[in-house]
A and B are shown apart, each in its own frame.
Chain A
Amino acid sequence: MNAAAPAAKAAARDVEKDASMQKQKAMMAAHYDRLTSAPETGAKVCSTFVPGNLNELIGCFDLLNNLPEVNAIQNGLRRISGQYVMEAEKIGHSEDVCTYVKSDIGMMAKGNIAPNGKKFPNPDVLLLSYTGCFTFMKWFELLREQYQCETIMLHTPYMGDGRISPNMLEYMVKQLRDEVIPKLERVSGVKFDIDRLRERLKKSAQAEDDLVHVLQTARHTPSPIDAYFGGIYYIGPIFGAFRGTDDAIDYYRFLRDEIDERLARGRGPVTPEGDMGQERYRLVVEGPPNYTHFRQFWKMFYDEGAVVVASSYTKVGGVYDFGFRHDSSRPLETLAEYCLGVYTNRSLPMRIDMLTNYVEDYRADGLLINSIKSCNSFSAGQLLMMREVEKRTGKPAAFIESDLVDPRYFSAANIKNRLESYFQMVEQRRAGARPAA
């Protein structure tokens, strides 16, 4: 099954990165330096979550955002999350629950060291943006117990009926206006300036336009991007600490130019081993990746010439590709709509519609679900989703299982076997679809 291996592979240790990836890495490193130097600079820190994060608002109060899921991902990529997870289990956390949480708790127990080797500052405020994931609520209750700091709940109702009702929107705007903003003012000592928020929202929309353009280049054949493994690099700044800033505008313009150039030259995605060779399979992927074996996982795809043309995970922080943009003319309403619209806050039928749309719109060969053991928000219902998308598109679907940052649940041989079987199934389906000679 290696016929489509990259034509020119770099030595395994020389990980190739596009210039945009280097730029992204530098941005993330700079943010970690800002965070860990907060005790010296006097900057205040707001811990909050990726889905539906309120970065524009946080920035209005000169707060630095710290995202515990991103820290867990970093620890997964650096292969140290496993020891953190076990440390958390040792102090009483169940083996059954979210490994992001346990990686975070374990990291705290082991000194709270950031990826730059320096200690994370304690947060001044926990902004519990409760969007699309039940665990978030418990996670910040657990952190509040440790840090004993102000904790602000922003409850985002679930789109159970596939729509945003006026009641839902009003509820969120009231929470923002009457609770979230006054509390952030109190913690930060900075008065809220709605014009400052509007400016940031305008900047968000600009970056969002470029991100959508980049993700939608995958409609082309061959796709110039991998919208899952590569896509994770692309969403880092916008779902992390940079949305609403000039840095994000610069990054996404830079990325757009880079991808447009790849597109113009007919090049496929860049992989850690250089340009991917011939595109053989186009997949839509549902669910987060495994981070402890991220590169090994990715390699199982690009070695087979499989490119991910669309993924739900790159919508976990917010869904832009169906038209949503932050709207500076309705600053609080737009923040509410952003939180309401994140992928995991959408009903299962909405998620199925999205995936079906991706399979068709991106002319994919099928759907692959990576089901995460400790993430019920994503995982519960995925077997039905798989069958529904298969039924609606007529394209084959497959199911693999792993975990976010717990290395104990990554079985390389098992996943590889399933992927190879899946690619064979795609081939058979193609052969069956060809008219008889």
Chain B
Amino acid sequence: MGTPLSLSSTAAIIDRATRIFEDLSFSAAREWKAAQPGRKVVGYLPIYVPREIVHAAGMLPLGIVGGGDRLEVVHGDAYYQSYICRIPRSTVELGLSGRLDFVDGMLFPSICDVIRNLSGMWKLMFPHVYSRYFDVPQNYADEIGGNYYANELAELRDDLARLRGAPITDEELWHSIAVYNENRQLVRELYAYRAEQPWQVPAAEAHLLMRAGLVLPVEQHSEMLRDYLAAARLQQRPRRDNCRVVLTGLFCEQPPLNLIKSLELAGCYVVDDDLLLVTRWLTSDVPVEGDPLRNLATAFLHHSESTAAKFEPDLREKGQHLVRAVRRTGAEGVIFASPSFCDPALLDRPMLQHVLTDAGIPYIAFKFAENSGQMQPIREQAGTFADSIKLWSGQ
């Protein structure tokens, strides 16, 4: 009788995650804020911000990744030309339509020129909201990029302390680092489990779980992940004759959920991806003793994900993270899915493809927008890719 119970458990968890995902008014975050006077919410865009500092300030970090395919963009298009990606216009729409009216601060990480310029737009459009362009070093020497980044973190700590009206202590930071270490461990566990048995963790469910982590307090999200993992392990889902792929290029604007589902329906199990990298950006635990900001800086420099928004100083290392992901997960190919007009993903793509070619790893590529509606071409392309892998791999 364990199987039906666990099925309903995963279903209930995913149902809750889906409701959070579909709620463009961020009710869960609003409720968290309303539950106690003085609480504050700080939004952040992709690709990475040190959520530990926001958490240490007693605030809720709220991940904002555009409006997806359910938001009608009424005002946002008036702010962007047709040749600019979709995420800034739907983010502007979220702001102008009042959906972010409970947000006290916004962080715009260094990812590309569009998000960078959006940081200035936000200052003009919402002058009463604290907003900061969050720069990160492209120099990875401890004494150069490390010092710079530690000082930037200190500025953020001071800013948030002013916002809450009290300093943020080292003890608070250590505690928050520990809480996020645990959360990242659970995320890594989920990803490892999916890589091992992808039929047990459908890609859309993994994505919904990560999306919930953008809105829920981290403690609740960790609980959700723990519950899901426990429930998933108690059940056996049917295993399809799918190939195994790594999905890449989706680190900023998010694909429609249907796109992710379509890939699996077309015969591709997603065994790794770069969706919502903030949930696992730091690849190992951050020490919870010593200088907390220095520890976060060191983790960023030496133990963080590789992605197009970061400079790779070593030519021999360029793209190897993708090869390693393929080897680690037993993937048989890579799917490049890039948002239209995404400079980081599209400029990086040819170099990554050359690396894959040299490593003998097959790949396909297509573009999408967060509101793409037609999945049939993508399904056909992915299906053909899966067939070709099954027919020709090993020959």
Contacts and interface: CB of A to CB of B under 8 A. Distances in A.
A155 B343 contact: no
A222 B382 CA distance: 63
A44 to B, nearest CB: 19
Contact of B113 (A92, A142, A380): A380
Which of B132, B148, B315, B343 neighbours the largest number of chain A CB atoms within 10 Å of its CB?
Answer: B343
B343 A141 contact: no
Nearest to A165: B155
Contacts of A138: 308, 343-344, 347-348
A381 B120 contact: yes
Contact of A376 (B79, B308, B343): B343
B346 interface: yes
How many A residues are at the interface, by size bracket?
35 or more
B147 interface: yes
A137 B120 CA distance: 22
Contacts of B108: 160
Interface in B78-100: 78-81, 83-84, 88
B344 A144 contact: no
B343 A134 contact: yes
Contact of A174 (B117, B135, B147, B311): B147
B79 A384 contact: yes
Contacts of A178: 141, 143-144
A348 B347 contact: no
Given A155-B139, A178-B141, A145 B343 contact: no
A174 B318 contact: no
Contact of A401 (B81, B110, B112, B338): B81
Interface string A302-319: 000000000000000000
Contact of A153 (B114, B313, B340, B350): B313
Interface stretch (A93-101, A186-194, A246-254, A426-434): A93-101
A128 B133 CA distance: 22
A116 interface: no
B148 A97 contact: no
Interface in B115-170: 116-121, 123-125, 132-133, 135, 137-139, 141, 143-145, 147-148, 151-152, 155
A54 to B, nearest CB: 16
Contacts of A96: 83, 340-342, 346, 367
A158 B349 contact: no
A278 interface: no
Contacts of B80: 380, 383
Given A138-B348, A347-B120, A376-B114, A160 B137 contact: no
A93 B318 CA distance: 17
Contact of A388 (B116, B124, B350): B124
A383 B89 CA distance: 12
Contacts of A352: 124
B353 interface: yes
B144 A171 contact: yes
Nearest to B314: A151
B351 interface: yes
A142 B347 contact: yes
B312 interface: yes
Interface in B185-220: none
Given A130-B138, A138-B308, A174 B143 contact: yes
A357 B104 CA distance: 31
Given A142-B347, A348-B121, A167 B83 contact: no
A388 B127 CA distance: 14
B111 to A, nearest CB: 8
A155 B138 CA distance: 6
Interface string A369-396: 0010110110111111000100000000
B354 interface: yes
A378 B153 CA distance: 28
A273 to B, nearest CB: 32
Interface string A2-20: 0000000000000000000
A361 interface: no
Contact of A157 (B135, B351, B354): B135
Contact of B81 (A135, A161, A171, A371): A371
Contact of A384 (B124, B155, B311, B348): B124
B77 to A, nearest CB: 10
Nearest to B119: A160
19 contacts: A94-B349, A94-B367, A96-B341, A96-B342, A97-B347, A98-B347, A101-B347, A134-B116, A151-B313, A158-B110, A158-B116, A171-B148, A174-B143, A174-B144, A347-B123, A376-B84, A380-B114, A381-B121, A383-B79
Given A96-B341, A179-B139, 9 more contacts: A141-B351, A153-B139, A170-B147, A171-B148, A178-B143, A348-B119, A349-B120, A376-B112, A381-B79
5 shortest A-B CB distances, which residue pairs? A160-B133, A348-B120, A138-B347, A171-B148, A155-B138
Interface of B: 78-81, 83-84, 88, 108, 110, 112-114, 116-121, 123-125, 132-133, 135, 137-139, 141, 143-145, 147-148, 151-152, 155, 308-309, 311-313, 315, 318, 338, 340-344, 346-351, 353-354, 367
